[in-house]
Every structure is written in structure tokens, then in C-alpha cells.
Chain A
Amino acid sequence: MLFPIRCLAAIGRFFIALLASIGRITRFGAMILYRGALPPYYPGRFFHEVFEIGWNSLPVVALTAVFTGSALAQQVYSAASRFSAQSTVPAAVVIGMVRELGPVLVGLMVVGRVTSAIAAELGAMRVTEQIDAMETLHTDPYRYLLAPRLYAATIALPVLVMLANVIGIFGGYLLSISKLGFNPENYLKVTREFLRAEDVHMALVKAAVFGFLMALLGCYNGFFASGGAAGVGRSTTRAVVSAFIMILFSNLMITMFFFG
């Protein structure tokens, strides 16, 4: 076969495999939502996961947000001062944080904590046959293990992102008034003027989608792990990398949808 044709064939195979796995993951996610919606419910497991995913992510999220918000203020200030537009700092911080940096950075940070933990824990349970054992003990792993994680992440992420937005804006505010010489009242007034409901809605939608995706990819890769400890390691890596990519990709899609 000619070289270009071989290349095309390889690309084709890649996309077919990609579509196939998107199909499998979609079906898996639908199955979790469906079974999780039917009793028996596990509220205890759900709140445990909310605690794990939401509460325990707070330090990471808060630090990410405060550093990003202040760095953003400094960057906008130095760029804007080239054409004497320093007054745009509060507006740029609030828009940049709420629309993009808040959801995306929190999403990526929480993937590092949550997706990896989900994939590793479920993967270890799979390869030690604990998931098989659960099925023989009158308990559905979809309801007991998967649904609580998926629902908890989908609900926890919007809350985390909102907190991150507030903290990020506050970080920008602190830097601006302490180092860049902004007037505190004026800064807050401009921030309030530029904070729009649509931006907050977009941030909430993004956060929920990111939370859903990060838990789903962790669950999928962990639940179907095989091949011992090394296999669990590979599944965890795959879960994290695919969650990163899916978050960045869906961020673009949602942004284009809101502005398109």
C-alpha cells in the first residue's frame, strides 16, 4: 500500500476507535444515571462522596483561585497600562475568572484529586474481585459505587467553582488595592457592574458538565480496569488524561454555544 493511504487508514482506525469508546462511555454513563435513579438509594454513600469530592477539595480550589485571581490582576494591569487602560482591571478579573479561569482551573485541579482517586480505587476493587463479590452480595455496584460518585461530583463542582470565583475575584481585589493603587470602593463597584448573570450561569453549566465528566471517566476507567497493579496504574493515567482533554474540549464547546 502507498504510504499516504496507510496514514489515512491509521487515522481512520484511530477515529473509529475513538467513536467506539465514546459510544461505550456514553452508554455506561446513561446506565449509571438510570440505575442510580432507581432504589435502593445510598444517601450515606452520596454524602460521603460529596464530602470527599467537594469539601476535601476546598484547600486546593481556594489556593488555585487566589493565586490565579491575583496573577490575572497583575497581568491585565501591566498589559493595559501600555495604553493607559488600567481601569479595566476589575472588569477583566471578574470576567476572566467567572467565564474561563474559575471553571477550567478548578476543573483541572479537581481532576487531579478526584478522577485519579476514583479510577485507582475502583480499579483496585475490580482487580481484587471486590466488584464481582459485591454483585454476589445482593448489591448493585452501579448504585453503590458509581452513582454516588457521579451525582456527588456533578453537584459539588458548581459549588466549588462559585467559591473559586469569589476567592479569585477577592485575590485580584487584594492585589489591586495593596499593590496597584486601586481605590477599594471603586474596585468593588466596577466588579459588581461587570458581574453578569449570564456569565454566572455559564460558569455553573461548565462546572456541572466538568464534574460529571471527571467522575464518569474515573468510573469508566476504574470499573473496567484489568491487569493487576500495573493495569490499575494505566487506567488511572488514562482516566486523568482523558478527563483533562474532555474538560478543555467541553469548555470550548460550551463557550462557543453561549456566544454562538
Chain B
Amino acid sequence: MPQTHPLIRIRGLKKSFGDHAVLQGVDLDIEAGQSVVIIGQSGGGKSVLLKTILGLIEPDAGSIEIEGQDIEKMSQAQLANIRDHIGMLFQGGALFDSLPVWRNITFAITQGHLRDTAKMQKLASEYLARVGLDDRILNLRSGELSGGMQKRVAIARAIAAKPEILLFDEPTAGLDPIRSDVIDDLTLSLVRDNGMTAITITHDMASVCKIADKIAFLHQGQIIWIGNTHDLRTTDNPYVRQFFDRKAEGPLH
């Protein structure tokens, strides 16, 4: 059998801020076409992990390989090339607040240029529809949107770049259950129908159960548990159990 490489291969990843060790040896494989969900406590380093995958945070030790290439050894140009295949949703949305919604969404396509206005606005409204927003907000700025709307515009912006890998940092946080389901459906369809690979961070267990092919539990800077949704429901790992059951009592606090 030919040896198949995982799309993303993370080994021994470490990152500290000052003397606060956030990542303490993360190992994780992400296969192409999979939907992987990372769960774990607040402040556990999930967002830091996503940003190291993008090369936005430099790890202290360990390696990240994307398609067999170590991102640490890449030149700026190669890294930019890899990033072209990645769509990132930042936890805070990170919308460009000086640009209207439609220019945010089409930013990657036009590389920030102002051109083909009519065509780009049409494209933007198609992406808005995919995240369950209507095109009345096309010309608003992020300050004029609700938190949940900002999040969904940011999702639209991330997928409009037509990435192969999606990194979603809490896509459904701040959304009502129905809007959350729309986003879950979107993630699933991007993975199942468009062959994308998704890494989602979420605290929303309903969402985990719906979209995850593989779940990774990040605890004290390491992935201490990996399984699928069935494993998640039936595990006897006390940490995962407590987390999934939403209990204040238990080994986690």
C-alpha cells in the first residue's frame, strides 16, 4: 500500500508566552477531506494552535507539515502560497472595519483592489446567502452589524477565497441555534461536497456531534484524547466525559 501523508501533520508543537506554557507538545494528524473539531477549555490554547498552523505565531519547538512540507522551513513566498489555500475565521471576526461588507467578502478575490464593483457585489451577496444573511447589509460596515452577523460575514469572507483548508475559530459562538445549524450545514457541505478539509474550534457540543469526523481534546497543552462522535458519547475518559456532560464537578476546573 502506498504511504499516505496526512494533509496536516503536527508533531511536538510547543509554545510559551513568557513563562506561561500554552502548547506543551501537540501531536495531531489531519487527513484531507476530514472535518476535525478541536475542543478544550477556555484559555487552553486552541486559538494559538490554529494561528501556529497558519504561521501567524511561531512555535518554540515542534513541526507543522502541510502536504508534507514543513512550514518553518518555508520562505515568505512559500508561506504566502500555502496561506492562499487556507481560509481562516478568526475568533473575533477580524473584519476590515474601514471597508463595507461586500469588499470584505471579496477581499481575497480582488486582493484588496477596488474593481468590478457590480460583479463583486453580486458575488458577495451569493456568499452572504450561504451564511444565511441577506444582501441588504452589503454596504454596511462591521461596526453597524451585530456580533453574530459579523461572525457570519467573516465566515463568508473566509470561504470566498476558495480555500482547500478551513480553519474556523468558534464559527457558531454568539449565534442562535438556528443560525448555528445553518453554519454547521455549510461546513458539512464544504467538506462533503467540495472536498475541503475543515478544522473547527467550538464549545458547542451539538455542533461537534453534527460536523465532526474526528474530535481532538486539547488539555494542558496536549491533545489527550482523539475519537469520533460515537466515542465522544461513550468515552470513559473523565476529562472528556465531564466536558461533554457540562458538569462543574470533576477533574477539570
Q: A133-B88, A133-B96, A139-B111 are in contact. List 4 more A-B contacts (CB 8 A).
A: A40-B111, A128-B97, A133-B157, A137-B161
Given contacts A130-B97, A132-B51, A138-B84, contact A144 B90 (CB under 8 A): no
Q: Is the interface of B mostly helix, strand, loop or mixed?
A: loop
A40 surroundings in chain B (CB, below 8 A): 111, 113
B238 within 8 A of A: no
A40 to B80, CA, bound (A): 14
By the criterion CB–CB under 8 Å, are B83 and A135 in contact? yes
By the criterion CB–CB under 8 Å, are A130 and B114 in contact? no
Residue with the greatest number of chain B CB neighbours at <10 A, chosen from A40, A130, A132: A130
A-B contact pairs, 7 of them (CB 8 A): A40-B113, A129-B94, A132-B54, A133-B94, A136-B83, A136-B86, A137-B108
Distance in Å from the Cβ of A147 to the closest Cβ of chain B?
Answer: 12
A128 to B92, CA, bound (A): 7
- Which residue on chain B has the smallest CB distance to residue A138? B108
B92 surroundings in chain A (CB, below 8 A): 128-129
B95 within 8 A of A: yes
B111 surroundings in chain A (CB, below 8 A): 40, 137-139
A140 to B112, CA, bound (A): 9
Residue with the greatest number of chain B CB neighbours at <10 A, chosen from A45, A134, A137: A137
B95 surroundings in chain A (CB, below 8 A): 130, 133
| Mask: chain B, 77-104; 1 = CB below 8 Å from A; 0 = not | 0001001101110101011110000000
A44 within 8 A of B: yes
A139 surroundings in chain B (CB, below 8 A): 107-108, 111-112
B56 within 8 A of A: yes
Q: Give residues in A with beta carbon < 8 Å to B.
A: 40, 42, 44-45, 125, 128-130, 132-140, 144
By the criterion CB–CB under 8 Å, are A136 and B97 in contact? no
B80 surroundings in chain A (CB, below 8 A): 135, 138, 140
Distance in Å from the Cβ of B30 to the closest Cβ of chain A?
Answer: 17
How many A-B residue pairs have C-beta atoms within 8 angstroms? Tell me: 60
By the criterion CB–CB under 8 Å, are A138 and B94 in contact? no
Residue of A44, A45, A133, A138 touching B90 (CB-CB under 8 A): A133
| Mask: chain B, 165-203; 1 = CB below 8 Å from A; 0 = not | 000000000000000000000000000000000000000
A132 surroundings in chain B (CB, below 8 A): 51, 54, 56, 90, 94
A45 surroundings in chain B (CB, below 8 A): 112
Residue with the greatest number of chain A CB neighbours at <10 A, chosen from B97, B111, B114, B158: B111
By the criterion CB–CB under 8 Å, are A130 and B83 in contact? no
By the criterion CB–CB under 8 Å, are A137 and B90 in contact? no
Residue of A130, A136, A140 touching B88 (CB-CB under 8 A): A136
Distance in Å from the Cβ of B149 to the closest Cβ of chain A?
Answer: 16
Given contacts A44-B114, A130-B97, A144-B112, contact A135 B56 (CB under 8 A): yes
A189 to B78, CA, bound (A): 63
| Mask: chain B, 23-61; 1 = CB below 8 Å from A; 0 = not | 000000000000000000000000000010010100000
Residue of A44, A134, A136 touching B113 (CB-CB under 8 A): A44
B114 surroundings in chain A (CB, below 8 A): 44
A42 to B112, CA, bound (A): 8
A129 to B80, CA, bound (A): 17
Distance in Å from the Cβ of B154 to the closest Cβ of chain A?
Answer: 8
- Which residue on chain B has the smallest CB distance to residue A131? B94
Within 8 A of A (CB), among B59-87: 80, 83-84, 86-87
- Which residue on chain B has the smallest CB distance to residue A136? B88
A136 surroundings in chain B (CB, below 8 A): 54, 83, 86-88, 158, 161
- Which residue on chain B has the smallest CB distance to residue A124? B97
A40 to B95, CA, bound (A): 22
Distance in Å from the Cβ of B206 to the closest Cβ of chain A?
Answer: 27
- Which residue on chain A has the smallest CB distance to residue B109? A138
B112 surroundings in chain A (CB, below 8 A): 42, 45, 134, 137, 139, 144
A42 to B183, CA, bound (A): 34
B88 surroundings in chain A (CB, below 8 A): 133, 136
Distance in Å from the Cβ of A45 to the closest Cβ of chain B?
Answer: 8
By the criterion CB–CB under 8 Å, are B161 and A138 in contact? yes
A129 to B84, CA, bound (A): 18
B83 surroundings in chain A (CB, below 8 A): 135-136, 138
A179 to B108, CA, bound (A): 62
Which 6 A-B pairs give the minimum distances between C-beta atoms?
A: A133-B94, A137-B108, A129-B94, A136-B88, A139-B112, A138-B108
- Which residue on chain A has the smallest CB distance to residue B79? A135
